[in-house]
Structure 1
Amino acid sequence: MQKGWPILIFLGALLLITGCSSGRSVTADDVIAKLEKLSIEAENPRKVTEDGDMSLKPETAELVRFELPSLKGSSATEGSENSGFVLKDIPSGHIFIFENTDDLATMENIYEELGITLEMFRSLTYAKDNILLQVPATMPEEEFNKYKEFIDSL
């Protein structure tokens, strides 16, 4: 029976190590790589790195933007110039990867408040762990559910 203890201890330690390391953080690069392999609409996914590229980009998050050409003409706004928001030709979605859930909740609230204040800024959002998905509210529900499944798979 004593011969089996080292093996049991080794296997227990191995399970503990692999269990702890499997919760690795998702990065913007992970999201982009996975988006490019899936059959959901997410054209030209890219990491947003500069504040001028997205006026609502928080400092405590990585951000991936992707285009949604099928919603062209049905949605609103993003971008920023000297005067504030400007209309873009192609609507886009965003995936935020936050360092903490408090900042995620704050950003989700900002999108909700924007949509209440101005209908053209209304969004659909979905949060899981430290990840927030935001797409235009004009996206059909069955399509939005595909993006939620994508977030759940990360």
Structure 2
Amino acid sequence: MRKYIGLVFLLGLILCITAACSSRESESAITLDDIVTKFREAGLEVEAPTESISEEHGFTNLGFKDVRHILVPALGEGEGGYLFLFEDKTDLEKLKDFYEEPGKSTLMPNSHAYAQDNILLQMSDQMSQTEFDRYVEVIKDL
């Protein structure tokens, strides 16, 4: 009888570990399009997400795996930000630092930036902190 109890316990433990690993894999499998969809579901303004970044920004070799340029028309024509997906945390932190340090760039002065796991959200300084926080909350809930 003890053998069976031990076997059932071991089997249960293996199933729990397998389930935990599966959930981690699904969490890391989130795409930028999934995040854009979540933004929309939360009632946030996101238009014309494109898979490109302006060459004038010089970000073509910064190590991100994927990018979406998102427009927020309420901020003005052409205003919005970027959503990045990285494989390397170091590359993510470099770009986040770039966006957060005022005066470091004439392209994106004082912009909002938030990083979680392998995701970086950057929005124009035309957006209020309160509105930016609404986008951040969506990412936090992923």
Name the TM-score class by shorter chain.
0.7 to 0.9
RMSD: 2.4
The aligned counterpart of 1:92 is: 80
Within the candidate set 67, 70, 82, 2:71 is matched to 67
Residue 22 of structure 1 pairs with residue 23 of structure 2: yes
Residues 79-137 of structure 1: per-residue CA shift (max 9 Å, x gap)? xxxxxxxxxx3212211111011000111122235x41456622110111211110011
Residue 34 of structure 1 pairs with residue 21 of structure 2: no
TM norm structure 1: 0.74
Residue 121 of structure 1 pairs with residue 108 of structure 2: yes
User: Gapped runs of 5+ residues in structure 1?
Assistant: 73-88
Relative to 1, partners in 2 of residues 1:7 and 1:124: Cα closer, same or farther, differing over 3 Å?
same
- How many residues are matched? 136
The aligned counterpart of 2:133 is: 145
Relative to 1, partners in 2 of residues 1:47 and 1:14: Cα closer, same or farther, differing over 3 Å?
farther
1:43 Cα offset (Å) = 1.7
Task: Indicate the larger mover: 54-63 or 100-109.
Answer: 54-63
Within the candidate set 37, 43, 49, 1:45 is matched to 49
1:20 Cα offset (Å) = 1.5
1:67 Cα offset (Å) = 0.8
Matches within 5 A, 1:3-22: 3-22=4-23
Relative to 1, partners in 2 of residues 1:9 and 1:71: Cα closer, same or farther, differing over 3 Å?
same
Greater strand content:
1
Q: Secondary structure at the match of 1:121?
A: coil
Amino acid at match of 1:8: F
Q: Secondary structure at the match of 1:137?
A: coil
